[in-house]
């Protein structure tokens, strides 16, 4: 049972390039989330999907788009990467009646 799987684990981009971060969960969870983790800032919610077919903005959505492809997969897209988006990105999932969230290993993204 893999839980939450994120790909890739590392990526280096140039300013202006586009990139899609992939996330899949095998726990049949309804809700999925994307966070970014920056030093001194903790984790901040970018976007979330409460259930299949719905997405909503979180605390820091600017510069990102998301797609809830199906119940298992929730992708995060950077259309035109900027150095300020250098961060570690975490995907998470949770079931409807379960508040805690299961996290992936993270994607370390550097934008030059």
Partner 1 sequence: AQRVTQPEKLLSVFKGAPVELKCNYSYSGSPELFWYVQYSRQRLQLLLRHISRESIKGFTADLNKGETSFHLKKPFAQEEDSAMYYCALTGSGGSNYKLTFGKGTLLTVNP
> What residues make contact with partner 1 under the rule CB under 8 A?
31, 33, 35, 40-45, 48, 50, 58, 90, 94, 99-101, 103-106
Sign of CA pseudo-dihedral 92, 21, 38, 50? negative
Asked if omega into 11 is within 30° of 0 (cis), the reply is: no
Q: How far is the CB of 109 from partner 1 (least distance, A)?
A: 15
Q: How far is the CB of 20 from partner 1 (least distance, A)?
A: 21
Q: Which is nearer to partner 1, 14 or 99 (CB)?
A: 99
Q: How many CA atoms within 13 Å lie on the side-chain side of 20?
A: 10
Q: Which is nearer to partner 1, 41 or 112 (CB)?
A: 41
């Amino acid at each position: 049972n893999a839980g939450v799987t994120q790909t890739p684990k590392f990526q280096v981009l140039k300013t202006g390039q586009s990139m899609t971060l992939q996330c899949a969960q095998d726990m049949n969870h309804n809700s999925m989330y994307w966070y970014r983790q920056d030093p001194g800032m903790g984790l901040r919610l970018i976007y979330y999907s409460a259930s299949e077919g719905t997405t909503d903005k979180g605390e820091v959505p600017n510069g990102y788009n998301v797609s809830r492809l199906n119940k298992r997969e929730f992708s995060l897209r950077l259309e035109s990467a900027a150095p300020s988006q250098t961060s570690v990105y975490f995907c998470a999932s949770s079931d409807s009646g379960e508040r805690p969230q299961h996290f992936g290993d993270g994607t370390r993204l550097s934008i030059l």
